[in-house]
Amino acid sequence: MIDIAGLTVRLGDSEILGGLTTRVAEGEAVRLAGPNGCGKSTLLNVLAGLRAPATGEVTVCGRSPRHRSVRAVRGFLQEPPPLYEQLTAREQLGLVAGLWGVRPRLLLERADALGLARHHDVLVGELSLGQRKKLGYVCATAHDPRLLLLDEPFNGLDSAALTAVSDDLARWKREGRTMILVSHTDPAEGLLDRTLDLGAPSPRATLRPTGGGA
């Protein structure tokens, strides 16, 4: 699904990702690891078409991440989620539903399952970090994407929402969706196939240790 060859990205006067070359097969769940500044979130942004490589080539389903056809394949949960603070949660979900041609009621039900039932008419700007993350997750996955790019999907979630999102990701995994995530919280047992260490001298893929994330 994803092919990366010789990727570097320029940030100011520096280049990161060190000529990364890797492949992510359809249905894989891959965790990005490494110290702050090594390029984990930057790599997600490249795959989302929000940042261009300085060198190398990246394709998603055989096309540039910026190609129009890739948008429907991909769902991207950013950190923090890009939401409209002047809208209510209901209006935010309605906007996203309209963009993807899905029923607003369906997205409201998914938000309710994450604990937002009492916050439909609260302005996004007045929601807590965890509530925004829940709302952002529903928006990012509204169109039932084949590829999930998740930047700190568990950050700020209460225990009930953490369980709900973990269960949801486990379902995506069983359905053969592809996931690439950055997380300082260990994902659900059995979710990950491998870890890609971007902090290594030559970025490399490693098998996920038994009993927890790398």
Runs of H (alpha helix) within 60-200 = 68-71, 89-100, 104-113, 129-140, 159-174
| Domain presence at residue 97 | no
Give pTM, 2 decimals: 0.89
Q: Is residue 118 part of a domain?
A: no
| Residue range 61-104, pLDDT digits in tens | 999 999 999 999 999 999 999 999 999 999 999 999 999 999 99
In a domain, 86, yes or no: no
Confidence (pLDDT) at 198: 92
What's the pLDDT at 204?
A: 52
pLDDT of 200 > 60? The answer is yes
How much of the chain exceeds pLDDT 90, in percent? Answer: 77
The pLDDT value given to residue 203: 52
Share of residues in the chain with pLDDT > 70 (%): 93
Domain count along the chain: 1
Cα–Cα distance for residue pair 83/122, rounded to 1 Å: 13
Domain that holds residue 25: 1-73+145-154+174-214
CA 114 to chain centre: 17
Contact yes or no for 214/197 (Cβ under 8 A): yes
The maximal CA–CA distance of the chain, rounded, in angstroms, is 49
Is 91 a domain residue? no
Helix axes 89-100, 129-140, angle to 10 degrees: 20
Whether 92 is covered by a domain: the verdict is: no
Average pLDDT, the chain: 90
Backbone φ and ψ of 57, nearest 5°: -135, 140
pLDDT for 207 = 45
In sequence order, which ranges of the chain are alpha helices (DSSP H)?
40-47, 68-71, 89-100, 104-113, 129-140, 159-174
Residue 38 is part of a domain; what is its CATH number? 3.40.50.300
> Is residue 35, in this structure, part of any structural domain at all?
yes
| 15 located within any domain | yes
Give the 3-state DSSP-derived string for 65-76, with helices as H, strands as E and coil as C: CCCHHHHCCEEE
Answer whether residue 212 shows pLDDT above 70. Answer: no
Question: pLDDT of 140-187, one tens digit each?
Answer: 999 999 999 999 999 888 888 888 899 999 999 999 999 999 998 877
